[in-house]
Amino acid sequence: QRQRQRERKRKRKGDRGSESKRRKMAVTGKEREAVDKLLKQRGDEALFAGSMKGKSAKVVVLGKNGRLYLLSNKKGVLATEFHGHLLDVKSVKSKSNNKFDIKFTNGSMDGELDCTDLINDMRQLHHVLFPGRKPFTCAVEPERRLRDLQDPPSDRPCGGFVATYLAVCDHRNMPPRGDIAWDIDNVYPANKRRKLEFEDFDLPLKPGEFECVIGALAYNKYFTGVSCAHVQLDKAMSQALGDMLVTNTTIEDLNLSRTGLAKGLVLPIAEAFKSNKQCAVQLLDVSHNNIGDKDLAVLGTGLGGMAKGLISFNASSVGGKKAGMSALFNGIKKNMFMSGSLQTLVISNNVFDSDGTGALASFLAQPTGLQVLIANNSAIKLDQLFGAMVRGCQALERIDVSGNKYSKKDMAMISQFLKASSHLRSVKMGGCSFDADACKTIIQDINSNMYLNDLDLSLTDNRIGYPGAKAIAPVIQRSVGIKRVDLSEMDLGCDGMQALLNALAATNTKLEHLDVSGNFMGKIGFDHAMESLNKLLASKCPLSSLNIRGGGKGSLREYITIFFFGLSSNERLTSLDVSDNHFGDKGANALGKALLRNKKLTSLSWDGNDTSVFGFQRFTKGLSGNTTLKHMPLPVQDIAAAMRADKMKMDSLSSVMSTLITRNNNPQLMQSVFKDQSSGASGGAGGDSTAFLFKGEAQQLKGLRNKVKALQRKLESEEQVVLEDAEGNDMGLTSIHGLHEVASMGMQDDLKERLSSLAFDILPVVNKHMDELQRQILDIVEKRYGSIDRETRQRLRLNMQFGAEDVDPEAIGKLIMDSAATQITRMAEDSFSSAIDISSTYLYEKLTEGLQNIIDEVKVGVEVQESESESEEEPDEEPEPEPEAEPEPEPEPEPEPEAEPEPERPAATPERTGSSPKVPPAVAPRRPGRPVSGQGQGAGTPPRGRGTPVGARGSRGGGGKVAGLGAQLFGAGGPPIPGAMPMPGMGGPQRGRGRGGPGRGSPARGGPQRGRGAPGRGRGGAAAGSPKPVPKPARRNPAKPPAKKAAPAKPGANIKVEKPSGDTENVKKIDEVAVESNIDNSVMKNRARGPGGRKPPSRRGRRK
């Protein structure tokens, strides 16, 4: 058995090899080159080539575009003797393997040739290029010579449309359009478009080019729609369209709008509808064509003969008169499927009159599934139409009969229809010449129908005036079913508008959209009308969309600013249209100011208001502070007028407005909120939290290192780690704040995948990213902050867990229903920001506390050094004045009880009794022009700046030789550093031994104090112009130990400061809980015990 299997395999392999060899050797090499060259000139490629037997030496070639060539060899040169296309093949006969006979519509081809491969290739190519077309007759003996047909690959772009299109072009001898082939091969598959639109190609199309595309569409099963809009059809093109509809079975949407269908061009299309029983057309649009009455009758006959009904039919503006419209609907009525299938009917801008309305009413009176009827400006008899709809159109949702004249006899049927309808969502009756009573009756009928609770009513362009406003105000006030109403262009006037708006503000709680454009007219009453409009916005009416466009006599002009003032605080309105009110720059300025406060408006239209460059500048300033406005068409009319005055500025302003709207639409661009805050007036952590230890602090920390080095003191290991952490704090906080955006973006991606689930399925996602954010913060703190021990990190983790804001699951559920992933991200970002702020504040306080300890140790070293220098001086020797200080003799100060004390300033010197109040370290904004005192400050008004306030008691033994370290390190008389971190003061005015002198500062402002001046042993100088000099303190007796005094006030304790963003009161509370629960007993034992919760610095023994 195995031997037989091997023999059979070897035989089959030999047969295939011999077959392939025969096909390759069908022509010689030179003949093959000549064939390829000849077919390349025609844009074709050979699939089969074989030499006929006999003396003629002819060659038969089959090209990939479906054309057969019979080439003759004349003196070594191949020339075309005959050619025909597969679409023209009638039959193929072959009684033996060596003979064939092919009949074409325009000739024949026969001869002796090994033709089995040729016949099979012809059948396969026909099956691939023209699927669904009946193949040609093939009589081959024996039949086993015919191979089975193989279906083409299913992944061909657009079902192989381009290959068919090239074959049809070859059949019609038309050069193919490369742009059409490229678009269909690339654009349509990429966008999954299944409707072929000729507007996508370069117009105009030649008739032959249109026929080739339509011819290829006849055999294509990929496309389900075709739009020929704006392609002007002729008789041949119309015939090609009809031929395609006879063959195609997949086209469902046929758009022939604005194609120039005229007399005689509708016939092929109508005949195709009747003849093709598998015609799939369901959406037909023949609008805006002057078809005429005769062709409308032909079209009606074709639609009546269809094997199925239409879903949508648009025959608006077809030039139909009463005879043509009557014939059209009489034909449609004959289609038994049409009444049940038709859902949308558009017949606007035709003339029905009585005959046409009768035929239409006869069709609509049948039980139909019609949902949308658009019949505006069609001279329809309203009583006949509404009477028929009462009987047959129970599912109608939208009706538009605007522009059809009303008579009083029509109101009975209109009222009956409005009372009986249960599915209505939109009723448009604008321009029907209704009077006040008719408008009132319509609203009353709607109010009486309990099923109408979400209705859009339009009564625009019914000029009822002030009496009409008074008539409809009471009934629309009680309306509960009307949510959107259009009362524009009704000549209500300012008084009528006031009455209407007051009525709506009183009790209406359902209205969401109001259009009262073009009604504000007259000479007086504009201000009262605007106040009534503000009253409506402030009422319980849930109004979210408002149109108050102007135009003509209905412009509000500058009175609209009253409305803009009310708009600034409105929290309901999301859409506003104030176009064509000509309010000028004053209104533009007011609108910009309103946008600064309004955080609800998302859509705004305001073109046609005579705005100049100045007005656009003021408006843009307001828009820059608004982050909720997302849709605002540029006011191109005003921009074009303003460009005549200053084109460069208007180009810039237009670009800025577009950029701001783009910013509001892209929440990711709003992640720079910290950077935006840093541009404010306050420096420090309250501004840019990622940079509150940048620039100036690096210089200050460097100065602190230099002071330590000057004192010849070596920092301990813990102090060295604190300084290194403070110097690298900028990078640490930058990394922490960088996690904010990473966490937000990652969470938003996860939320988009889970929007379909419930709120409690999304809440774990937020918590996961929150935990991940906290973990990464703790990792960065552990890696970058060596001074933060494990217990402190544990407290930080607890602070973030209990102090960070929680996300409300109910709010998330509401946003999920609205598919608002962006809003959910914003809510989560508040939670993330609170964790970031808590961590930043916590690290800031810990670093400041560590730096304060180092500064206190440095102060002790300064005092010791000063004590050593004092022991070398003469006890009663008066120092010589400095040469550059212009000394003035200063008498010995005597106590003067009569002198009035200097008035206190807001930042008063703390009392020297008891300990100073605990003030957490924080950022004190530094004011320019208020330098801190330098060396040897005397008593006086405390300057505003960093360091100890002037007049506070300093440590003993300081004085004029060594200046206060707080003043020297952190801005002694120098310019302030914007955004710098306030460092604790380390000295300030020294009382005791040393040199001092009068200051130069003003007594009212406590300006810069002169560090050097007139001789004065044992005290600092007084501020120039101060009412009372500081008395000389008593000398210290070395033999007698000094009496105990109250603890000195902590430097800077009473200076009003600002803390970084984020409340840290919970830090203290959680620390207290930690003490009570013995979580960190070892840490709590070592907590600071001095003023401000800090351990007092150790003092070294004095030199004997």
Strand pairing category for 99-104 and 107-112: antiparallel
Amino acid letter for position 557: R
User: How many residues belong to the chain?
Assistant: 1104
Q: Which of 641, 670, 666, 636 is nearest to 654 (CA)?
A: 636
- Crossing angle of the two packed helices 821-871 and 809-817, in degrees rounded to 10: 140
Mean pLDDT of 745-754: 64
d(CA 251, CA 257): 16
Please report which helix (H) or strand (E) contains residue 677, including its range.
Answer: helix 673-677
For every residue of 226-245, DSSP letters joined together read EE-TT----HHHHHHHHHHH
In this prediction, residue 712 carries a pLDDT of 63
In this prediction, residue 765 carries a pLDDT of 79
More confident residue, 1023 or 791: 791
In this prediction, residue 522 carries a pLDDT of 81
Residue-wise pLDDT tens digits, 1041-1095: 444 444 444 443 333 434 444 444 544 554 554 444 444 444 444 444 444 444 5
Number of H helices, E strands in the chain: 35, 23
Amino acid letter for position 522: G
Q: Which of 528, 445, 539, 545 is nearest to 486 (CA)?
A: 545
Residue-wise pLDDT tens digits, 374-396: 999 999 999 999 999 999 998 99
Please report which helix (H) or strand (E) contains residue 1021, including its range.
Answer: none
Please report which helix (H) or strand (E) contains residue 212, including its range.
Answer: helix 207-217
More confident residue, 817 or 146: 146
In this prediction, residue 439 carries a pLDDT of 94
Going from the C-alpha of 8 to that of each of 3, 685, 1080, the distances in angstroms are: 9, 89, 89
d(CA 825, CA 81): 75
**Cα torsion through 1021, 1025, 1028, 1029, rounded to 10:** 10
Residue-wise pLDDT tens digits, 672-693: 443 443 344 333 333 333 333 3
In terms of Cβ atoms closer than 10 Å to its own Cβ (0-12, 13-18, 19+), residue 407 is: exposed
d(CA 36, CA 41): 9
How confident is residue 1021, by pLDDT bands cut at 50, 70 and 90? Answer: very low
In this prediction, residue 731 carries a pLDDT of 64
Q: Give the single-character DSSP code of 1007.
A: -
φ, ψ for residue 494, nearest 5 deg: -65, -40
Half-sphere exposure of 562 (CA within 13 A, CB side): 15
User: Sign of torsion, CA 1078 1083 1089 1092?
Assistant: negative
Residue-wise pLDDT tens digits, 477-523: 888 889 999 999 999 999 999 999 999 998 888 999 999 999 998 87
Buried-state track 644-664, b at ≥16 Cβ within 10 A, e below 16 = eeeeeebeebbebbeebbeeb
Q: Is 635 helix (H, G, I), strand (E, B) or coil?
A: coil
Vertex 512 angle, CA 506 and 515, to 5°: 90
Q: Give the single-character DSSP code of 186.
A: I
- Crossing angle of the two packed helices 382-392 and 411-420, in degrees rounded to 10: 20
**Cα torsion through 560, 565, 571, 573, rounded to 10:** 10
pLDDT greater than 90 at residue 368: no
The 10 Å Cβ neighbour count of residue 273 is 23
688 contacts 676 by C-beta, under 8 angstroms: no
Mean pLDDT of 8-18: 59
Mean pLDDT of 34-56: 83
Strand pairing category for 77-85 and 67-74: antiparallel
d(CA 795, CA 692): 23
Mean per-residue pLDDT over the chain, rounded: 76
Residues 6+ apart with CB under 8 A from 1098: 857, 860
Going from the C-alpha of 591 to that of each of 561, 565, 621, 643, the distances in angstroms are: 7, 8, 11, 21
d(CA 45, CA 201): 27
Q: Where are the beta strands (DSSP E) in 809-875?
A: none
What distance lies between CA 703 and its chain's CA centroid?
Answer: 48
251: left (phi over 0), alpha (psi -120 to 50) or beta: beta
190 contacts 220 by C-beta, under 8 angstroms: no
Strand pairing category for 398-400 and 372-374: parallel
In this prediction, residue 343 carries a pLDDT of 95
Return the structure tokens found at 901. 């004390």
Return the structure tokens found at 557. 């002009």
Mean pLDDT of 618-635: 92
373: which strand partners? Answer: 345, 399
In this prediction, residue 553 carries a pLDDT of 73
Q: Is 773 helix (H, G, I), strand (E, B) or coil?
A: helix
Going from the C-alpha of 616 to that of each of 548, 556, 611, 619, 1029, the distances in angstroms are: 21, 19, 7, 5, 60
pLDDT greater than 90 at residue 846: no
How confident is residue 872, by pLDDT bands cut at 50, 70 and 90? Answer: low
For every residue of 937-977, DSSP letters joined together read --SSSPPSSSSSPTTS---TT--SSS--HHHHHTTBSSPP-
In terms of Cβ atoms closer than 10 Å to its own Cβ (0-12, 13-18, 19+), residue 1045 is: exposed
For every residue of 862-887, DSSP letters joined together read HHHHHHHHHHTS-SSPPPPPPGGG--
Which residue in the block uniquely carries the two structure tokens 């070596």?
714
Return the structure tokens found at 63. 């090209």
Residue-wise pLDDT tens digits, 54-84: 666 788 999 999 999 988 877 777 888 889 9
Q: Which of 977, 982, 942 is nearest to 966 (CA)?
A: 982
pLDDT greater than 70 at residue 301: yes
Half-sphere exposure of 113 (CA within 13 A, CB side): 28
Return the structure tokens found at 886. 């212009």
884 contacts 1058 by C-beta, under 8 angstroms: no
- Crossing angle of the two packed helices 382-392 and 353-364, in degrees rounded to 10: 10
d(CA 658, CA 631): 10
d(CA 86, CA 103): 10
d(CA 759, CA 97): 75
Q: Which of 115, 124, 186, 122 is nearest to 149 (CA)?
A: 124
Return the structure tokens found at 473. 């105000």
How confident is residue 816, by pLDDT bands cut at 50, 70 and 90? Answer: low
d(CA 788, CA 724): 12
Residues 6+ apart with CB under 8 A from 458: 402, 426, 427, 428, 429, 430, 485, 486
Q: Which of 648, 660, 785 is nearest to 724 (CA)?
A: 785
Which residue in the block uniquely carries the two structure tokens 């304790």?
1053
Return the structure tokens found at 296. 């409308």
d(CA 1093, CA 917): 10
pLDDT greater than 70 at residue 968: no
Please report which helix (H) or strand (E) contains residue 128, including its range.
Answer: helix 116-129
Residue-wise pLDDT tens digits, 983-992: 443 334 344 4
For every residue of 272-283, DSSP letters joined together read HHHH-TT----E
Mean pLDDT of 416-437: 93
Residues 6+ apart with CB under 8 A from 27: 35, 49, 50, 51, 59
How confident is residue 956, by pLDDT bands cut at 50, 70 and 90? Answer: very low
More confident residue, 886 or 198: 198
949 contacts 988 by C-beta, under 8 angstroms: yes
Which residue in the block uniquely carries the two structure tokens 């070859």?
170
